[in-house]
Structures are given as structure tokens and as C-alpha cells.
Amino acid sequence: MIALERRPTPSRVWAWASPLVAVALTLVAGGVMFAALGTDPLEAMRTIFWDPLFGEFAFYFRGQLLVKAGPLILIAVGLALGFRAGIWNIGAEGQYIVGALCGAAAGLAFYPAETRLIFPLMVVCGALGGFLWAMIPALLRIRFGTNEILVSLMLVYVAENLLASAAVSWLRNPDAVGFPGSRNLSRWDAASNPELIAGTGAHWGVVAALIAVVFAHILLTRHLMGFHIKLTGAAPRAAAFAGVRPARLVVFCLGLAGALAGMAGLFEVTGPAGQISIDFASGYGFTAIIVAFLGRLNPVGILLAGLLMALTYVGGDAAATNLGLPSAAISAFQGMLLFFLLAVDVLTNFRLRVKRREPRVPQPAPEAAE
Amino acid sequence: MDLTSISPTLLIASLMVAATPILLAALGELVVEKAGVLNLGVEGMMIIGAAIGFIAAVEIGSVWLGFAAAALGGAVMALLFGVLTQLLLSNQVATGLALTLFGLGLASLLGQGYVGIKVDALPRLDMGPLSDLPFVGRVLFGHDPMVYVSLALVAATWAFLRFTRAGLILRAVGESHDAAHALGYHVVRVRLLAIAFGGACAGLGGAYLSLVRVPQWTEGMTAGAGWIALALVVFASWKPARVLVGAYLFGGITVLQLNLQTAGATIPVELLSAAPYLVTILVLVLISRRGRRGGDAPADLGRAFHASS
């Protein structure tokens, strides 16, 4: 029989190999799913993973890639810091919405002024909005010990209602007759977040995501705060003895993740989305959780994972239009990826041993739970 | 605003209907957590139950078989979580989240061709003259059978955990898996059974949404009900009877805000729709204030078990 045996130290090889194995397994399982849906699996895989990069219309899709990857990476980097310390902020979607709302509101207050100072102000307000929204679960956890998982998630639904009310009442475009939705920010020069290099899709959000990756990498490898984060995640008691203040860590991790998610929301609303509308929330905050784990909670890994996940979005859109693959298939596919990743991860900390069943001794110790 | 248009009798009767999905899901999760496992995938299992239950009911033409299929679907999803966390020792929080994300995707995939179809709702149980009593008849004796099933399940869970040997073993596993293991109990087996039960309950709760409460299939129809069920378990301090109280309180808020919306209250609609979530947060704060962190929680909640360590 096969048994698991704990490794003395986590395997370095498997730490890097397990995402790759998980991706491979997901491709197989996803192929089965696509076949079950009546699509040729090989063709589906080619449409999703190959055509957007090297196909005939790659010039269009490549631009989309960074547009999708930017917010995912920006949010996931923040989340990963918290996850490493055992602080589970799963309400990034809400922080993303509130960031977009605050930033857009701050900008629209100056409409129709034409000064380039407005955009930086909006970025700051967006970050602040996300930060404050994340402070709700942070402060409740510190002050009352309330579970941050549930509170941050509940706030997503509150934020969605806030978004709906903004779109139909307090941020609605006063010049539009009857239509919900704010003024178009991407067409107002002072507030727009344009494509910086034509054809790449890179806007300020992508730049911010890259900066965040570098910042988080330095924080985790060179800074005391990063050490405290890793220590708390690995051994909370040891961290307490080492003088880590848990409250500070909660505020830092949740606050940073909230600010980054808020910025991501702002870059989205001023760029690709263009305006505050009822369907502005697109689930980036939840997909970023997958990205964070796929990237092994490591900033550089998240960069790669974000690009891969963006590819599934872009390729999934292409497959939806070309092959008629339901768009929900892609979210199931993404969920599968996370499952396989978590399953393969066992090999980082354990090794498989094929054991022969030991002959029963008169007073057997309880069989290792199989 | 016309408050007189809200009838207290109907309000109470409909709050029981509104509360039943989360009551079922929370009850399942309570047993799972009593066994020391934190499954954050309730939302995913619920929506899978809603989708599968609805599809089965439409295809087979029997609401009851729909419920059975939903329970089965929920249990299969839960066992996916069980295999990952119990056999492959993955992180329970992350795996639960994965289950939710996967379930939401899979459910909307499955339910694609079923948007806008209607099923015959469960008929209300007719208890003869009892159902004709004023007020009491409508509130106590005029519901569909699943409401009574959920109430019976509360009692059964309470009795199981409190009076049976199996319930004692389950609690022992949740309080100290090392001690239970040393006594010769199969920690992993007990936990897998509890997880499957939790999944089946969540599936039933989801199916109640799509087959009775709404009754239709729409994408993302659980809208956080699974998460509220999780909060409810904390609120109830891991006690079945309090889950019942909590679920009905919560159902009351949901129904009241819907009634206020239709009565044309001057409060913004969005604030009313957000009210159940805000109240959940408020309740969580009050609870954690009282008990400090995890006062009543099973001691080994969320900790992975491996016989060698």
C-alpha cells in the first residue's frame, strides 16, 4: 500500500515542479471536460493557449493579456503576503470595487477640469478606498477577534450593493438620459488610464503590478516585516516569542492588500472598463486567490501565474466566440487548476512510500489513517 | 411607506422558508466542524446542489429525486475536499476556497440550458383542520415538507451529537485527533463521513433554493448564502439548537428587507439588500466580543491530521 511519509524539510524541487504538474493535470482533466461538452479538446486547448500568443490574431490578443494580468497580479501580490502570515483576506473583490468607486468619485468631483494632477489624485484615493474597506475586517479582528474570512467576504456583497447604488444614483452620468453608469472616465483626458505603448495593452495598472512584484519580493527577502510575515505563517508561537506584534501584521497585510486591490479597481475603471457600471465587478478579486496560490505565494511566481491565468481568460473568450465553448467552462477550468495544485502540493512536504502491509502483531498500534 | 401591507403571519411563514436553505447548510457544516474540519466550500457545494437538484427535477420530473440528486452532488463535491484535505493533507482554508470557486464555475456550466425553466414547486403539506387554524395554522402547519425535514434534522443532529456513541467519537476527533487516534478511532474515516454529510446538507440547502424558494435556476443564485451559513455556525457556538435560532433570525431579516422594499420604504434599496450581510458582520462582532477567539470552537478545528506527526 502507498503511504505518505513526512520529509524532514520541504522539497525544493517539488516546490517548483508542483505548479507545472498541476497545470499538466489540469490540461488533461480540462480536455476531458471540453470533450464532454462536445468540443474537440485539442482544438480547444490550441484556441485557449496557443492562438492568443502565436495565432493569426495574436496582435489583438497579446494586448488583452496584460490588460487581464495587470489587476490579477496587483491583487494577488497583496493577498499572498497575508496568506503567508495566515491572514485570510478573501474580500479583495470588495476592496477592488470600493477602490474604483472612491477613485472615480474623487476624480469626478473635479469634472471637467483638465489637469494631469487629477489622475494621480484618483490613484491615491483608489488605494485609500481599498485600504479603508480592508481596515474594517482588520480592525474588527484586532479589537474583537472577529473572523476576517467571513467579514471580508460579507463586505464583498455590501460593496456590490454600493456599486449598484453608485451606478444608478450618486455617480450616475447627469448628461446621460436614463442610462445607469457614470461618466466615461477613459474618454476624459485628465482621468484616463491610456495604453502606454500601443499594442501591448500595458496601462498604468500593469506598471503598478510590476512595481508591486518587485516591492513584495524585496519585502519578503530583505526586510524585517517580510521575515515577520513568513515567521508568523510558519510558527505563530515562535513569532510571538520573537516579539512579532500580531495586530500590526494584520493591519499591514490587510491594509496593503486592500490598497493594491483598490488601485487595481481604479486602473480598471479609468482604463479598460471606462466607467462605473452595475456589472463593473468581474471577479478579479476571487481569481486573484487562485493566482496567489498558483504562484506559490511568491511574488515572482505570481507574476508568471497571473500571465497564465490571463491567458485562460483571453483564450477562453476566443474559444467562446470561435468554438462556442461556454464561458463558465473557463471558470470551472480555473477552479480545477487550484484543486490540482493543492493536491500535488502534498509532494512538497511528504514523499510517497510503497510499503508492504506489515504482518499483524498481537497488539497492533492503530493503523496509520489511510 | 405602507407598513400595514406587511402581514406578520405571512412574514413569519415566509421567514421559515427563507431560513431553510441556510439552516440545512449550517447544520451540515456544524457537524463537519465538530469533527475538527473547517470546510469553507459551503457556498460551492450549495450552488452545485442548486444546479444538480434543479436539473434532476426537470429531467426526471420529480422534485424529491431532485433533492436526492442534490444531496448526492453536494456529498461528492465535499468528498473532493475530503480527499484533498484528509488524504493529501492540503490546507483546509485554501481547499475550501477552491471548492467554492470550482463549484460556482461548474454549477453555471451545468445549469446553462436550464435558465428560465420552471419546475412544479413542492405542494404545501395539508394537515387538514390544523392548517386552517388562524395564524398558528399558517405558521406551523402550512409548509412544504422540506421545512419539516430541516427541523427534524436539527433535532436529529442534536440528539446524535449529544446522546450517541458515534456522536461522542465524532466530537472526540474534533477536540483532539491525536487522543482519538491513540484510542484507536479512525480519525480520517470519521472526518470523511462528517465531510460527506456536510456536503449532502449543503446540497439539500442549495436545492431548496432552486426548487422551492425561487423556484428557478439562475447563475450565482446562492449569493453568499453558504458564507452566511458558515457565519451562523460561529454565531451558534457550535450548538444545533442555536443554529436554528440564528437561521430564523437571519431569515427574518431577509424577509423583512424584501417586504420593506415592496412596501416602498424610503430607505435605499441597495442598503436594504446589503442589510443581511451587514447584520451578519454585526452578529459576528458581538459573538467574538463575548467569547473571545474560538472559546467554544472544537479544539482541533482546521488542523491537519497525519498519523506520523
The pLDDT tens digits for B61-78 are: 788 888 999 999 999 999
Distances (CA, A) of A237 to A233, A246, B5, B94: 10, 11, 57, 22
pLDDT at residue B140 greater than cutoff 80: no
**Chain A neighbours among B 261-290 (CB < 8 Å)?**
268-271, 273-274, 277-278, 280-281, 284-285, 288-289
Q: Is the pLDDT of residue A297 over 80?
A: yes
Measured between beta carbons, the chain A residues lying within 8 angstroms of B178 are: none
Task: List, for residues B171-196, the tens digit of each pLDDT value.
Answer: 888 888 888 888 888 888 899 999 99
B4 interfaces chain A, CB cutoff of 8 Å: no
Interhelix angle B145-163/B165-175, rounded to 10 degrees, is 70
Say if the Cβ atoms of A369 and B101 lie within 8 Å: no
Q: Whose CA is closest to B113, among A290, A247, A59, A37?
A: A37
A293 touches chain B (CB under 8 A): yes
pLDDT confidence bin for A99, thresholds 50/70/90: very high
How close does chain A come to B303, measured CA to CA in Å?
13
Residue type, A335: G
| Contact yes or no for A350 and B89 at CB 8 A | yes
Task: Supply the pLDDT for residue A363.
Answer: 53
The answer to whether B230 contacts A290, with C-beta atoms less than 8 Å apart, is no
Confirm if A304 and A295 have CB atoms less than 8 A apart: yes
pLDDT digits (tens, 9 = 90+) for B234-284: 888 888 888 998 888 888 888 888 888 777 767 778 888 888 889 889 888
Residue B126: band (very low, low, confident or very high) from pLDDT cuts 50, 70, 90: low
**Cβ count within 10 A of residue A359:** 6
When pLDDT is cut at 50, 70 and 90, the band that residue A253 belongs to is: very high
**Nearest CA among A114, A156, A174, A173 for reference residue A286:** A156
Residue type at position A270: T
Q: How many angstroms separate the most distant Cα atoms in chain A?
A: 87
Q: Which of B80, B79, B81 is nearest to B93 (CA)?
A: B81
Pairing of strands A350-354, A2-6: antiparallel
CATH number of A38-325: 1.10.3470
Instruction: State the average pLDDT over residues B44-49.
Output: 92
Per-residue pLDDT at B260:
80
* Residue A32 touches chain B, beta carbons under 8 Å: no
Q: Within the 317-336 window of chain A, which residues sit less than 8 Å (CB to CB) from chain B?
A: 326, 328-336
Cross-chain Cβ contact B270/A164 below 8 Å = yes
Please identify among residues 79-108 of chain A the ones whose CB lies closer than 8 Å to any CB of chain B.
Answer: 83, 88, 90
Place of cell 456513541: B165
CA distance B49 to B171: 27
Grid coordinates in use for A188?
Answer: 476624459
In percent, the amount of chain A with pLDDT more than 70 equals 95
Look at B97 and A289 and tell me if their CB atoms are within 8 Å: yes
Write the CA distances from B12 to A309, B17, B131, integer angstroms: 47, 9, 15
The fraction of chain B above a pLDDT of 90, given in percent, is: 21
Q: How far away is chain A from the Cα of B229, in angstroms, using its nearest Cα?
A: 10
- Please confirm whether the linkage preceding B129 is cis (ω < 30° from 0): no
User: How distant is the Cα of B149 from the closest Cα of chain A, in angstroms?
Assistant: 28
- The answer, for A197 touching chain B at a CB cutoff of 8 Å, is no
**Out of B99, B187, B288, whose CB is closest to A369?**
B187
Place of cell 498541476: A22
Q: What angle do CA A296, A301, A307 make, to 5 degrees?
A: 120
Q: What is the ipTM of this complex?
A: 0.82
- Taking contacts as CB-CB distances below 8 angstroms, the residues of chain A near B186 are 366, 369
Closest CA to A289 of A334, A246, A347: A334
Q: Which three cell numbers stand for residue A204?
A: 498604468
What is the pLDDT, as a whole number, of residue A370? 41
Scanning every residue of chain A, which has its alpha carbon at the shortest distance from the alpha carbon of B90? A342
Q: Which CATH architecture has domain B3-113+143-291?
A: Orthogonal Bundle (1.10)
- Whether residues A289 and B188 touch (CB distance < 8 A) is answered with no
A346 interaction partners in chain B (CB closer than 8 Å): 88-90
- pLDDT at residue A368, as a whole number: 47
Q: Look at residue A369 in the predicted model and tell me its pLDDT.
A: 44
Which of the four pLDDT bands, split at 50, 70 and 90, describes residue B92? confident
Say yes or no to pLDDT of B156 above 90: yes
Query: Which chain A residue lies closest to B220 (C-alpha atoms)?
Result: A328
Residues A78 and A288: their CA atoms lie apart, in Å, by 10
Mutation for B interface: A32, A72, A140, A157, most B CBs within 10 A: A157
Q: Is B38 helix (H, G, I), strand (E, B) or coil?
A: coil
Q: Which residue has the cell 501591448?
A: A200
Range in A44-48, A244-248, B128-132 with the lowest mean pLDDT: B128-132
Put simply, the chain A residues between 230 and 289 with a CB less than 8 A from any chain B CB are: 286-287, 289
Residue with the three cell numbers 477552491: B98
Residue in A88, A165, A369 nearest the CB of B93: A88
Is 70 exceeded by the pLDDT of residue B309? no
Q: Is the pLDDT of residue A47 over 90?
A: no
For residue A5, list chain B residues with Cβ-Cβ distance below 8 A.
308
Spatial distance between the Cα atoms of B222 and A335, rounded to a whole number of angstroms = 18
Please, which pLDDT band fits residue A36 given cuts at 50, 70 and 90? confident
Percent of chain A with pLDDT over 90: 27
**What value does the mean pLDDT take over residues A85-97?**
91
Highest mean pLDDT among A157-161, A171-175, A183-187, A232-236: A157-161
**With helix as H, strand as E and coil as C, how does chain A read?**
CEEEEECCCCCHHHHHHHHHHHHHHHHHHHHHHHHHCCCCHHHHHHHHHHHHHHCCCHHHHHHHHHHHHHHHHHHHHHHHHHHHCCCCCCCHHHHHHHHHHHHHHHHHCCCCCCCCCHHHHHHHHHHHHHHHHHHHHHHHHHHHCCCHHHHHHHHHHHHHHHHHHHHHHHCCCCCCCCCCCCCCCCCCCCCCCCCCCCCCCCCHHHHHHHHHHHHHHHHHHHCHHHHHHHHHHHCHHHHHHCCCCHHHHHHHHHHHHHHHHHHHHHHHHHCCCCCCCCCCCCCHHHHHHHHHHHCCCCHHHHHHHHHHHHHHHHHHHHHHHHCCCCCHHHHHHHHHHHHHHHHHCHHHHEEEEECCCCCCCCCCCCCCCC
Any A CB within 8 A of B3 CB: no
